[in-house]
Amino acid sequence: MPRCRPALLLALLASPLPLAAAMPQAARAADVVRPYYHAGSWDAFTARVPGRPPVCGIGNRAPDHRVFTLRFEAGSHVLTLRAVKPSWAIPQGTQVNVVMQIGQAAPWPATATGNARQIDWTIPAVQSQNFEAQFRQASTMTLSFPGGSEPTWTIPLNGSSAITDAFNRCVGQITATPAAPTQPYGGPTQPYAPAR
């Protein structure tokens, strides 16, 4: 199994999951985030924190340690996108305009919420198919920040189709309806027929 790059792990752990924030970074890397697949410039991961629903995610780290992630939490109706840069110092709760453009498709403008070195915004799950189609087909995507001085990010999408497949498998696993329990006695689906 390919290993996730350490800087990506640390950025993934700058998470709204409450227990992750309270854990030492070394413990968080070992106990919360589980990278399980690598394709192109992307890593797929899961995150599990006691008392919280499981999370599936994908992430990309630039050579200068900027990180972009997309995650889905079981039971949610949104995809959460995150941009992280170690040199940012954003006051908690700051509203940040961000425009994501995938290839030549129409831009996805959003208002993100900033906190320290990251911003988070969401895409409703009903728009995820449109996002996925663009993400699979384009060679790059950009993030621009119209209200600030941060230059536009260009994120490579090499490996995006394979990483999307891995992400979708993970989401399918955490959202699957459990099968009804079976019993070893009585009833139509049991290992013997009741006496008549």
Please give the chain's pLDDT, 196 residues, in tens: 344 443 344 344 444 433 333 333 433 444 488 999 999 999 999 998 888 899 999 999 999 999 999 999 999 999 999 999 999 999 999 999 999 999 999 999 999 999 999 999 999 988 999 999 999 999 999 999 999 999 999 999 999 999 999 999 999 999 887 766 766 766 555 555 566 6
Answer yes or no: is 86 within a domain: yes
Answer yes or no: is 180 within a domain: no
From the number of C-beta atoms within 10 Å of its C-beta (0-12, 13-18, 19+), residue 89 rates as exposed
Answer yes or no: is 32 within a domain: yes
Which residue is it, tokens 């996002």? 131
- CA–CA distance, 165 with 39 (Å, rounded to integer): 10
Answer yes or no: is 196 within a domain: no
Domain count, the chain: 1
Answer yes or no: is 194 within a domain: no
Answer yes or no: is 80 within a domain: yes
The H-or-E segment that residue 38 falls in is: strand 33-39
- CA–CA distance, 82 with 99 (Å, rounded to integer): 13
Answer yes or no: is 11 within a domain: yes
Q: How far apart are the first and last CA of the chain?
A: 55
Q: With contact defined as beta carbons under 8 Å apart, do 26 and 10 qualify?
A: no
3-state secondary structure of 127: helix
Residue 179: predicted pLDDT = 66
CATH of the domain at 121: 2.60.40.1880
Answer yes or no: is 159 within a domain: yes
Containing structural domain, residue 126: 6-175
- CA–CA distance, 141 with 135 (Å, rounded to integer): 8
- Residue 126 phi, psi (nearest 5): -65, -20
Q: With contact defined as beta carbons under 8 Å apart, do 28 and 47 qualify?
A: no
For residue 12, CA distances in Å to 47, 69, 106, 167, 182 come to 9, 7, 28, 15, 39
pTM: 0.77
